[in-house]
Amino acid sequence: MPQIHIAPDSEHLAQEAASFIHHRIHEKLEKVPQFSLVLAGGNTPVQTYQRLASMPTQLDWSRVHFFWGDERCVPHDHPDSNYRMALEMLLSHLPVPLENIHSMSCNPSPEEGARSYEDVLRRFFPAADVPQFDLILLGLGGDGHTASLFPDTRALDEHERWVAANWVEKLDTWRLTLTLPALNAAAAVAFLVQGSGKASIVQAALAGPPARLPAQHVSPEHGDVHWFLDRAAAAELPPGSAVTPVLPE
Ligand code: 6PG
């Protein structure tokens, strides 16, 4: 069962999600030498990254490795780049060694970019048959996509590889994305969704018929799933949804 956290507004959502991420990293680094965090793209995570970047902390960021769940096929300095967004909002504010930042690139081609990213992951998770990320952050698109697993696209049917180049007809563009085997091997997944525009797709994803939307196929076998929503995005959830209310401090 996913754990649903509902915050009064986007500010509290960002604070709650940032605190969750910080706590997960802190908790895990007490037991193991490093933490692998997969960053989400799009707009929703911006406030969460800004909060995380500004939190007072004793965390040793040199023990955290950063990956991406997906990337647009644009240069890293392009306004649409998920790498650029995370760099500006989070990574440039933290003492993270460059070698801990594992960005995706569609160079020299989407297919070769996917293969080389998979090589990066297989080197980071040697002898593993799946990449065991400690925490994967995800968004939710209005059509139920997550990462760049869009409805009716080929990457949804990829059950072996960890990274895929995915042609997205509706956007007339290539994307790189982690596949469902990679997402579903995570120790934890956290969806970050805000705004009234997402209320109906959140209801469909969490209370609608199962396995219809790409996001509904994210269900880690040995991991926990969290949904961080603001009240606007949660507005169409049935009363009594198992929620962990986030009270304003
Ligand atoms: C991307 C994201 C994508 C995003 C959703 C929600 O590269 O765009 O990975 O999956 O999370 O489209 O985007 P917003 O947060 O901007 O609504």
pLDDT at 242: 61
Query: How far apart are the C-alpha atoms of 114 and 32, rounded to whole Å?
Result: 28
CA triple 62-65-69, angle to 5 deg: 155
Q: In this structure, what token pair is assigned to residue 111?
A: 């297919």
Query: How far apart are the C-alpha atoms of 66 and 37, rounded to whole Å?
Result: 5
Which of 70, 104, 150, 178 most suits a substitution to test ligand 1, by most atoms within 8 Å of the C-beta? 70
Cα radius of gyration (the chain): 17
Low-confidence ranges of the chain (pLDDT < 50): 247-249
Regarding the beta carbon of 192 and ligand 1, being less than 6 Å apart is answered no
Regarding the beta carbon of 177 and ligand 1, being less than 6 Å apart is answered no
Regarding the beta carbon of 145 and ligand 1, being less than 6 Å apart is answered yes
Regarding the beta carbon of 84 and ligand 1, being less than 6 Å apart is answered no
What are 184-233's pLDDT values in tens digits? 999 999 999 999 999 999 999 999 999 999 999 999 999 999 999 999 99
For residue 42, the number of C-alpha atoms closer than 13 Å in the C-beta half-sphere is 19
Helix, strand, coil percentages in the chain from 3-state DSSP, rounded to 5: 35, 20, 45
CATH number of the domain bearing residue 187 = 3.40.50.1360
pTM of the model: 0.97
Domain count, the chain: 1
CA triple 218-221-224, angle to 5 deg: 70
pLDDT at 243: 64
Phi first, then psi, for residue 131 (nearest 5°) are -80, 115
Work out which ligand 1 atom sits closest to the CA atom of 192. Answer: 15
pLDDT at 1: 85
Regarding the beta carbon of 42 and ligand 1, being less than 6 Å apart is answered yes
Work out which ligand 1 atom sits closest to the CA atom of 198. Answer: 17
Residue 197 lies in domain? 3-245
User: Exposed, middle or buried, 235 (CB in 10 Å: 0-12/13-18/19+)?
Assistant: middle
Instruction: Say which amino acid occupies 163.
Output: V
Q: How many CB atoms lie within 10 A of CB 107?
A: 12
Query: How far apart are the C-alpha atoms of 12 and 7, rounded to whole Å?
Result: 6
Query: How far apart are the C-alpha atoms of 223 and 231, rounded to whole Å?
Result: 25
